[in-house]
Chain A
Amino acid sequence: MRSKTILLIVSLLTTVGLLVACRPAVPVTPVEVTRIVQGTPIVVTATPAPVVKEKAPDVLGILPRSETLIAAQLTGRVGSPDDFNEWVGWKWRDRGMQQLMNEPLWSVDFATGKIINGLADGDPVYNENFTQVTIPLRKGVTWSDGQPFTAADVVFTVETLMKYEGFNAHSFFVENVESVSAPDDYTVVFKLKQPNSRFHTTFLDRWGSTWIMPKHIFEKVDDPVKFQFNPPVGTGPYKLHSYDPAGYWTIWERREDWDKSPTGIMFGEPKPKYIVFQAFANEGAKILAQLTHQLDAVDLSAEGLKAALAQGKTNRAYQPTFPWVVNNDPCITGLTFNTAKPPYDNPEVRWALLLAIDIVEYEAQAVDGAATMSPVHVPSLGPYPDYYIKPMQDWLKEFTLDLGGGETFKPYDPEAPARLAEYAKSRGYVIPDDPAFIAQAFGYGWYKYAPDAAEKLLIKNGFSRDADGKWRLPDGKPWRIEVISRSDMSHLEYRNAAAAVQQWKKFGIDAVHVPSDNVSALTQYGEYDVSGNWPAFEPWGAGADLSRVLDVFNSAYVKPIGEMTQGHTSRWSSPEMDDVLKRLRETDPTKTDQVVAIGTEGLKILVQNMPGIPTFGYIGFVSWDEYYWTNWPGAENPYTQPYTHWGPFKYMTPFLQPTGN
């Protein structure tokens, strides 16, 4: 009896083992491919996606899989699946509403650095003192129910948003708009209550914007705030097909009259007939779904991407080689100090904490060295190196700190990216020696690892070490830093916070990492020391204008601790920055030279005061399955931004190619 039992267990284990072992091995034959790095073709080694025919399970039931693209929904399960009224509250607009159903007036495409005209037919035209703006609209566009799109829709949208307090944008339009009118069907004129040279950006889609309502539908509604707008009608190339009442999936179908949408007019017919956004509650399921060809595009964690690439036969990442990641996301990550709280109200303390960071170790701990560092509060990508980071090199090299006792220190280190490249090589990754590649992949410079200089700065400000070498505050109490972040371990806020804690512990500070699901309230109310929050607001991702980055440091927005701040969570401001902001607001955003000059001043003030430490640009861990769809906008062919959750995903759809599987 016992031997039978043992035999049964062994048989079961063997069967499972064989099933796992019989899965085809991953092809690892590398080939040389050409990549374009900042306009220069270079040859790198890459592992191509093999062509493997394999029957994928038909999970769709009603939709032909070969004509359907499935993407994971970034923000997860939709909480209000019946409600498409995206002008009120949060409606999980990345379920396809902002990417497929809507066309904004303009979109930011951070991969090309361009502003794409959607419903608008050109740039906004301001009057001399920025109190009036005229917007030309595209002709020939219809809503998905066949009604023509005209200026009356724009006028109606703005007037409705101003009329009802429940709309998210109500306060903005009431604060800014004196009147809105349509002199003809394709022109809108706004008269503003005060000068505002950036008013039009409320209609510029950068992961959200003010979208236009279909007047012919909303004008018949009694309460547009509570109206569910179901089925929704948009000017994008897709219309709603169906959705899961439990919120796990939404299906969009290509409009028969796709050529009446701005996407169709500009780029042609979208290739997938259906696009599904599916929510997964855990990353393991996303990876399994992609490995079984049930998911074409997904954002993963660093570890998840490695697992998907290691196991998948038809998977690819944004870059074909290390560091694989999407490294042109217009966002700088890092750390934010609560400058309303001592000792972080002292810029020299903030600089000491920066100098206690070895950026190579820090990046290794945070992202295995796979991100592009930036010494200033904009990411080292897209237009920003040319406009700001490269021209600022001389100033950064000469920037000097006063360590006390007549001693000074120049903290900038243009060799930091090369050190990071050496680290990556030591990990076995193939890194070309081309300086252009290293600058593009790892950045143009950061700051020296200088614990000695950090020590001198702290001693200058009354800090001391105890007998165990631990740092004490000027009042003699032990110095404990709590670094808060989101609790999601894959998020770069978490990664930055965890890496900072390791660095500061090494320096002798009692630093602890406090992950919290309540981090948004803690930071907005100022109840923290240091956070993994972005050190500045994200730039537009196109053009030179830094108003979005700098405006949150306006002193008018700073609130005392305990009140919700309107501006940046560092609660930092200065008269010098206010002056920069005033001049920036009075400058036409299309006047590049003037905008760059003022923006550079703003970035220098941030470096000098360091209310938050910029570390590395946001990196996305995108995994694409090429079993059904190819021609994804990877690093070798970045024809548009690579995410399926950003608005310009609609502009990717005409270029995707079905494989015929």
Chain B
Amino acid sequence: MNFVKRYLIPRLVQYILVVFLGVTAVFLIPRLTPTDPIAHTIAQIRSQGAYLDPATVDEFIQDLKELYGLEGSILDQYIGLWKRLFRGDFGVSFFQFPTRVSELVGRALPWTVGLLLTTTVISWVAGNLVGGLAGYFSRKRWAQALDFAAMVIRPLPYYIFSFTLLLLFGYVIRLFPIAGGAAIGSVPSFTWSYIADVLRHAFLPALSLTILGGTIWFQTMKLIVQNVNAESFVQYAKLGGVKEGIIVSKYVIRNAMLPQITALGLALGQIFSGALITEIVFSYPGLGTLLYNAVITGDYNLIMGITIFSIVAITTAILLLDLLYPLFDPRVRYR
């Protein structure tokens, strides 16, 4: 009962408050920018010199306002937003009218989650495992070589790094496709050939994210382990003759894991913002370009749909971490 009152309820209240403020901010911020969805729609219809009779532009603007639900005061629109959200409805995309926002997000989400969830988990596990060992055995030559490699890779701009992979494996060696999430003409299905095709297309984007992400986890973990390794309790364990395997796994890495678990939770929450540069370099489908285009075109509903989804995902991840943390950290449990 004490746990519920002192630990669970404050965090649930905080969760609801953050979501409320986040949704309100997401509603207001696009409306405060000079981006105008109607101006963008008209500009797009006039693109490449296509004609829109100037005499009828005023009427067209009015039609668009009605279609997009942009009539009425900001307060009316804000109340309308909450009404829709309680029904689980994000409305329609302005720029991709009349496609529903939920449909657009639902279409992009599997690609983003599939790629980023996998790469985040793989890079976290591999980076922390290798980083932990390299931190503990930091004087070994292999650990120094890995550290050197990480120092070379990490400062590389991601765009350059990923494009180099594309150039090397897509053009020079031609092992992997240059663009897309699946082969042209393929039909999504649960067949081995389609899954293999998707994996083949995802390999280079995943490799780029895993290498750079893993390098960051590696360096962080290595530094934490080196610090923990210098702590008195580790020194006492060594002097006390505790087996090295137990010192590494139970004393050092377990303690060093705590901040990395927090960081993993945040990284998993941020998956839902997409990976814009990865999507651009590899022409890979996902939420990143969807959100970018929504911002560029002032597609308020789509911006709100994606960012609300992201806010809920990140705050939920943080809440779950808070709730699970006592399992990893006895100090929290005993409090």
Contact = CB atoms under 8 A, between A and B. Distances in A.
B and A form one assembly: yes
Interface of A: 1-2, 5, 16, 19-20, 23, 57, 59-63, 70, 74-75, 77, 79-80, 82-83, 88-90, 165-166, 168, 170-172, 174-175, 201-202, 206-208, 225-226, 241-242, 244-249, 251, 276, 278-282, 284-285, 288-289, 291-292, 294, 330-331, 517-518, 520-522, 524-525, 527, 537-538, 548, 551-552, 554, 556-557, 564, 566-567, 645-646
Interface stretch (B15-23, B129-137, B182-190, B219-227): B182-190
A64 B15 CA distance: 55
Contacts, number: 213
B218 interface: no
Interface in B18-43: 33-36, 38-43
Interface string B91-119: 00101111100001001100100000000
B232 interface: no
B166 to A, nearest CB: 7
A645 B48 contact: yes
A342 B117 CA distance: 55
A289 B178 contact: yes
B36 A282 contact: no
A97 to B, nearest CB: 13
A525 B55 CA distance: 17
A61 B39 contact: no
Given A244-B182, A284-B163, A521-B35, 18 more contacts: A1-B141, A5-B145, A19-B173, A77-B283, A79-B290, A80-B96, A83-B99, A201-B51, A202-B53, A226-B98, A248-B285, A278-B184, A288-B170, A292-B170, A294-B178, A518-B36, A557-B57, A566-B58
B180 interface: yes
Given A79-B104, A517-B296, A175 B178 contact: no
Contacts of A280: 179, 283
Contacts of A62: 185-186
B56 A282 contact: no
A292 B172 contact: no
Contact of B54 (A60, A74, A249, A557): A557
Interface residues of B, number: 76
Contacts of B53: 171-172, 175, 202
Contacts of B170: 288, 292
Interface in B168-221: 168, 170-174, 177-188, 197
A557 B45 CA distance: 18
A100 B291 CA distance: 30
A537 B50 CA distance: 10
B49 A206 contact: yes
Contacts of B147: none
B49 A249 contact: no
Given A16-B168, A522-B34, A524-B39, A285 B179 contact: yes
B246 interface: no
B285 A246 contact: yes
B281 A165 contact: no
A279 B290 CA distance: 14
A566 B107 contact: no
Contacts of A16: 168, 172
Interface of B: 33-36, 38-45, 47-61, 63, 66-67, 93, 95-99, 104, 107-108, 111, 141, 145, 163, 166-168, 170-174, 177-188, 197, 279-285, 289-290, 293, 296, 298
A73 to B, nearest CB: 11
Contact of A63 (B185, B284, B293): B185
A292 B174 contact: yes
A27 B76 CA distance: 67
Contacts of B55: 172, 175, 556-557, 566
Contacts of A57: 174
A284 B171 CA distance: 11
Instruction: Kindly list the 9 A-B residue pairs having the minimum CB-CB distance in the complex, ordered from nearest.
Output: A208-B50, A520-B43, A246-B285, A538-B49, A171-B59, A171-B56, A521-B39, A521-B36, A207-B48
Contacts of A525: 36, 39
Contacts of A171: 53, 56, 59-60, 63
A170 B108 contact: no
Contacts of A521: 34-36, 39-40, 298
A175 B60 CA distance: 11
B93 A281 contact: no
A63 B186 CA distance: 10
SS of B interface (majority): helix
Contacts of A172: 53, 55-56
Given A166-B63, A285-B178, A517-B296, A566 B98 contact: no
Nearest to B99: A80
Interface centre among A70, A90, A646 (most CB of B within 10 A): A90
Contacts of B111: 246
B177 A59 contact: yes
Contacts of A557: 54-55, 57
A168 B48 contact: no
A552 B97 contact: no
Contacts of A63: 184-185
A174 B39 CA distance: 22
Given A172-B53, A279-B283, A552-B54, A524 B172 contact: no
Contact of B171 (A201, A292, A520, A522): A292
Given A75-B47, A171-B56, A60 B40 contact: no
Given A60-B185, A282-B283, A289-B179, A207 B57 contact: no
Contacts of A83: 96, 98-99
B183 A90 contact: no
B166 A288 contact: yes
Nearest to B148: A5
Contacts of A281: 179, 279-284, 289
A89 B170 CA distance: 37
Given A20-B172, A171-B60, A79 B93 contact: yes
Contacts of B184: 59-61, 63, 70, 244, 249, 251, 276, 278
A566 B57 CA distance: 6
Interface centre among A19, A63, A518, by most B CB within 10 Å?
A: A518
Contacts of A248: 179-181, 283, 285
Given A62-B185, A168-B45, A206-B51, A288 B178 contact: yes
